Chain A
């Protein structure tokens, strides 16, 4: 496989990374909360998907998206309504961050207790290994599906925020939570929905991760870092920025691994640094 293949696969991997980051970007853009739990939730979703797939063994893995999305949305909504909104009332901006920090430690360790630390994977027949030949480059079907799914979700999210009543309310709340109160909107309810959406996106990301590779309760931390990088590079609340950032990181990682198989995520991290030094506000950050 030549360099073209490496880059094509990097772009496809970037679809998954964009998906990791977009939910975090949404919450950060609207509520200004840095949700440390995001990575743990991606890992938890992988376990939820594993649970659902063992209940419904004959169903195609991609059909799992619907139940995972519904469960994730409900969890995100409940989390925001029960805990995070409480901490947002405090004057200290650090409180919600530290709250989600505490939650992430709880969730990770409960997963360790409940599921053990051995790597798991979803039995899915040969879907994960399927590959097609595009101009002589072998391309995995699953990564292509992931990228297409990511793009579809981004379009839906964009339409939801730009064209619908709910989207207008969410954007208005993001701009000024005090003023929307005067218009009869409860910011807390908006935040519930936004956190639900963010968890639903993380849920899909977790499912795609589970289909792509093995996972453990520790998978979350690493994905949190990727999600963070995607948000920072993409710029606040910018979804296309997140997508492009994901792709940049995916390509950098695979090119780096080709140059030095031991380098792990090093090259992607270096690309991140070079980028934020040049554009501290992210790709599309100047808009806000």
Chain B
């Protein structure tokens, strides 16, 4: 399979670059890339929800914060290295995502978005008033002192790189599977999808729990590296604002979109704050202006705009009807929807 070898070689190049990064870009570069990779992970997860299942969440910061608190609290409580308890972050977040989803899914569209934000605020406030979680002063990761700082930085970077690669590959693989086809159909028209036998609720549930767990892990890594956590930074609305920004600028509902968006997000920051020495608020004004212009000129985002102009497709998840589809189940769905090719080949309209 040509497609698979291309994917594997891309992954291989990423692994080599990530492994060599400390020698290629130095400590400052590694610190920046660490941030970029975590942002990319979160943006891909927001995109999985909003771009593929139509769940526009404004509350993913809830899981970023919970992941951070879980990791630091567990490491301090059990007096172990944070790496041992890091898996708890996605576990706790996935669980809370799974428990809250049936309630949040009762609400649709904008109501869902607003309720996820309210949910995040409630969780933040509960963490704030729970004794033993630091209240206003926050919590410091005490067990990190035993680890050599240089090693700690590098290890964190590699974990973040692995997470980003894992999430992108995972979503890529998911979208190629029958379940992914179901997700794409839910995105395009949930009523039509349901009518041909796609379990809309289950697809959304899986995507939501995956996004919760993924954001939890990203939050855990982020705050483990920061060595310190407070409610204001952990449950900051800006987490989800950044995810939304990168995805809509780059291109919602595409795998490449968030990558382009994250590159622009950090590229503009470097340009404005380092080269032009402007303040952070001018940076955000610029980002806002880019988002507004993107919405007016290329509302599907920069990546789809470029792709349609030049016909490039890097991580192809759209399906052509002539393809020899490997799964019987996929074929069954395909044959029912041949009348509407846009349904399957989303990329070319």
Contact = CB atoms under 8 A, between A and B. Distances in A.
Contacts of B245: 105
B133 interface: no
B285 A273 contact: no
A155 interface: no
Contacts of B117: 225, 228
Nearest to B111: A232
Interface string B279-295: 10110110111111001
Contact of A265 (B125, B126, B295): B125
A226 to B, nearest CB: 10
Interface in A58-95: 83, 86-87, 90, 92, 94-95
Contacts of A102: 287-292, 295
A232 B282 CA distance: 33
A23 to B, nearest CB: 16
Nearest to A108: B284
A20 to B, nearest CB: 14
Contacts of A262: 128-129, 135
B296 A280 contact: no
Given A87-B296, A95-B299, A276-B111, A229 B118 contact: yes
Contacts of A264: 125, 128
Interface in A115-174: none
A221 B296 CA distance: 24
Nearest to B51: A94
Interface in A179-196: none
A202 to B, nearest CB: 17
A269 B118 contact: yes
B203 to A, nearest CB: 19
Interface string B226-262: 0000000000010001001100100010000000000
Contacts of B126: 266
B107 interface: yes
Contacts, number: 115
Contact of B115 (A87, A104, A232): A232
A196 B252 CA distance: 30
The DSSP consensus for interface residues of chain B is: helix
Contacts of B110: 28, 34, 97
A232 to B, nearest CB: 5
A111 B56 CA distance: 27
Contacts of A97: 56, 110
A102 B299 CA distance: 13
A280 to B, nearest CB: 5
B107 A95 contact: no
Given A229-B118, A263-B125, A272-B118, A98 B282 contact: no
Contact of B292 (A106, A229, A269, A270): A106
A113 B121 contact: no
A34 B287 CA distance: 20
Contacts of B287: 102, 105
Contacts of A112: 281
B95 interface: no
Contact of A98 (B128, B129, B248, B285): B248
B106 interface: yes
Contacts of B122: 266, 269-270, 273
Contact of A92 (B128, B129, B288, B300): B300
A109 B288 contact: yes
A99 interface: yes
A103 interface: yes
A262 B241 CA distance: 26
A253 to B, nearest CB: 12
B283 to A, nearest CB: 8
Instruction: Identify which of A83, A95, A102 gathers the most chain B CB atoms within 10 Å of its CB.
Output: A102
Given A87-B299, A98-B291, A112-B281, A229 B244 contact: no
A99 B125 CA distance: 30
Nearest to B244: A101
Contacts of B118: 225, 228-229, 269, 272-273
Contacts of A94: 50, 56, 248, 252
A260 B128 CA distance: 12
Contact of A273 (B115, B135, B241, B244): B115
Interface of A: 28, 34, 83, 86-87, 90, 92, 94-95, 97-99, 101-106, 108-110, 112-113, 221, 225, 228-229, 232, 260, 262-266, 269-270, 272-273, 276-277, 280
Interchain residue pairs A-B with the least CB separation, the first 5: A102-B291, A106-B288, A105-B288, A109-B281, A266-B125
30 contacts: A34-B113, A83-B296, A86-B296, A87-B295, A94-B56, A97-B56, A98-B244, A99-B291, A101-B244, A101-B248, A102-B287, A102-B290, A102-B295, A105-B245, A105-B284, A106-B284, A106-B285, A108-B284, A110-B285, A112-B281, A113-B285, A225-B114, A225-B118, A269-B125, A273-B115, A273-B122, A276-B106, A276-B107, A276-B111, A280-B107
